């Protein structure tokens, strides 16, 4: 148990028959009335985001979540297989738990896996990764109707928007949180 005064970003709460990760929180002390805590919570299994307000000092149930670094090995057709580099233990991760992270993950890359009571909750990649463009159409000079971007398919199969001047075979830096293009890598 913890108090709402102890909330931190990333903390996982066990409430409403589910596990909810704190994305944002704000302590509010209005001029009139009791203080309260406004939070933005994400369900770690369904990725649903809700806003919830607690009275200040309210007790909330916290969940024990183990976060460890793993190395991605391969996809066996149904699950993604990761290995703990210290114990060499292999952990299968379902496509549901992988979410959008699967589009930015190459073999031998590292990721952080969060587990609760032996069950994988989610996979967190580094904020950015370097990937090669495997296919993109040539950009037409003068075509600015799309804001100067075009679709490109990465070596992992994910599709992102890139500037018109980029060509197939170019390495790019991609933000793993929203799939946005961050820059070209030499």
Q: What does the alpha-carbon distance between residue 81 and residue 149 come to, in Å, rounded to a whole number?
A: 34
Q: What does the alpha-carbon distance between residue 102 and residue 125 come to, in Å, rounded to a whole number?
A: 9
Looking at the domain that runs over 128-185, which CATH code has it been given? 2.40.50.140
**For residue 25, what are the CA distances in angstroms to 7, 9, 14, 38, 84?**
7, 7, 16, 6, 32
- pTM for the predicted model, two decimal places: 0.74
CATH of 2-60, one of 3.40.190.80, 1.10.4030.10, 2.160.10.10, 2.30.30.30: 2.30.30.30
Evaluate whether 25 touches 9 at the Cβ level (below 8 Å).
Answer: yes
Which residue, 114, 95, 128, is CA-closest to 10? 114
Q: Report the pLDDT value the prediction gives residue 102, as an integer from 0 to 100.
A: 87
Q: Matching CATH topology for 66-124 and 128-185?
A: yes
Residue range 116-160, pLDDT digits in tens: 888 888 888 999 999 999 999 887 666 565 567 889 999 999 999
Q: What CATH class is the domain 66-124? A: mainly beta
Place 45 in a pLDDT band, splitting at 50, 70 and 90: confident
The full set of domain ranges for the chain reads 2-60, 66-124, 128-185
Q: Judge whether residue 38 has pLDDT over 90.
A: yes
- Can you name the residues that pair with 129 across neighbouring β-strands? 174
Structure tokens at 28: 């509010």
User: Average pLDDT for residues 93-98, to the nearest whole number?
Assistant: 87
């Amino acid at each position: 148990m913890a108090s709402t005064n102890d909330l931190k970003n990333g903390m996982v709460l066990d409430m409403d028959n589910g596990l909810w990760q704190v994305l944002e929180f704000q302590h509010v002390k209005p001029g009139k009335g009791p203080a309260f805590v406004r939070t933005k919570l994400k369900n770690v299994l369904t990725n649903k985001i809700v806003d919830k307000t607690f009275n200040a000092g309210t007790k909330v149930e916290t969940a024990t979540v183990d976060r460890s670094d793993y190395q991605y090995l391969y996809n066996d057709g149904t699950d993604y297989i990761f290995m703990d580099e210290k114990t060499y233990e292999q952990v299968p991760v379902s496509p549901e738990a992988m979410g959008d992270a699967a589009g930015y993950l190459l073999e031998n890359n590292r990721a952080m896996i969060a587990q609760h009571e032996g069950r994988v909750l989610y996979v967190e990649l580094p904020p950015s990764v370097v990937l090669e463009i495997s296919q993109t159409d040539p950009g037409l000079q003068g075509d600015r109707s799309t804001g100067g971007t075009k679709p490109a398919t990465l070596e992992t199969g994910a599709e992102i928007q890139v500037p018109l001047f980029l060509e197939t075979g170019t390495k790019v830096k991609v933000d793993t949180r929203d799939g946005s293009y961050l820059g070209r890598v030499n």
